Amino acid sequence: MLRFILMRLGKAAIILIAILTLNFFLIHAAPGDPAAVMAGEAGAADAKFIAQLREQFGLDKPLLTQLGIYLKGVLQFDLGYSYRQQMPVADLILDRLPATLLLTMTAFVISLVLGTAAGVLASARVGKWSDTAISTLALLFYATPLYWAALMAVLLFSVYFNWLPGFGYETVGANYTGFRRALDIGQHLILPATTLGLFFMAVYMRMTRASMLEVSQLDFVKTARAKGLKSGIIQRRHIFRNAMLPVVTLAGLQAGQLVGGAVLTETVFAWPGIGRLMFEALAQRDYNLLLGVFFVSAAMVLVFNLITDILYRFVDPRIRVA
């Protein structure tokens, strides 16, 4: 197990270095001289300042040396400096990361739990009206633009009914503490997390339904029936566990999309996470910050992947023991 985790960590490290390299070349591919761009961002584009920046960031050195300096910097949690926000990129991101983690994790859990539950329900009633209803709903969620669902949710639940807050992370100026604050954040979380999870809910539902139906055709299910087991036990113990294997794999693969989707959700709901930060960076053409957020979201995806991989090993003995 330990060896497996070490191996996966090694692989993740290689991917991270590859992403950083990509990042580095993207900065250089950006139109204009990076020093001029940085100077522009800092709002002082005179030649002396540019030359100074050039030296400070080693921009006069060969490209590979620069890459080395860049990678070394990242190892020390130095993701560069955002001249627009006048703060180190790493600090900006670290400040916003918890909100994003809260949002994506909640959305992930909601979509996985509700999605698989709906999928199981639909597969148990295949062909009946409840299956048709669930499948149609999934089809709709699957085709709905995430940001539009978010806007419509705000319109409906926040503006029209006034049931839930549709803006921000907590009630500004209320200065709640302790449990009251958690409740407040929870209320603010409902709409963003649900709308972010909607698409993935549809994905997991469809996958679970298809997988349940496929597994229920397999021989060992017939064996279980031949034992005289109740159909509830067969569903849970034999069909569901086997059907979840591809869903877990998919959940890992989809994690990346979830982190990407957070940019849209956070923008609509003014959720103070790194997605919103990315939107701000876009609006201000703050490339250092943009690439920093990109790097951190890729790292988050790797963590998600590692978790699902470990989960998979717990579910499937063929991989665990072999």
The interface with another protein within residues 123-182 (CB under 8 A) comprises: 126, 139-140, 142-148, 151-152, 154-155, 159
**What residues from 10 to 29 belong to the interface with another protein (CB under 8 A)?**
10, 15, 18-19, 26, 29
Interacting residues of 4 by C-beta distance below 8 A, sequence separation 6+? 313
Question: Nearer to another protein by C-beta: 81 or 294?
Answer: 294
Task: Calculate the alpha carbon distances from 86 to 28, 78, 286, 289 in Å.
Answer: 22, 14, 11, 11
Instruction: Note whether 209 binds another protein by CB under 8 A.
Output: yes
Mark the segment that binds another protein (CB under 8 A) among 53-61, 65-73, 93-101, 262-270. Answer: 262-270
Instruction: Note whether 308 binds another protein by CB under 8 A.
Output: no
Instruction: Note whether 236 binds another protein by CB under 8 A.
Output: no
Among 163, 223, 303, 310, binds another protein (CB under 8 A): 223
Mark the segment that binds another protein (CB under 8 A) among 50-58, 67-75, 169-177, 298-306. Answer: 298-306
Question: Nearer to another protein by C-beta: 191 or 300?
Answer: 300
82: β partners: 87
Interacting residues of 194 by C-beta distance below 8 A, sequence separation 6+? 107, 110, 153
Instruction: Note whether 317 binds another protein by CB under 8 A.
Output: yes
**What residues from 28 to 57 belong to the interface with another protein (CB under 8 A)?**
29-31
Contact 80, 293 (CB under 8 A): no
Instruction: Note whether 3 binds another protein by CB under 8 A.
Output: yes
C-alpha span between 303 and 24 (Å, rounded):
22
Instruction: Note whether 303 binds another protein by CB under 8 A.
Output: no
**What residues from 102 to 121 belong to the interface with another protein (CB under 8 A)?**
none
Interacting residues of 120 by C-beta distance below 8 A, sequence separation 6+? 208, 209, 212, 235, 240
* Residue 87, helix vs strand vs coil: strand
C-alpha span between 210 and 239 (Å, rounded):
12
Instruction: Note whether 1 binds another protein by CB under 8 A.
Output: no
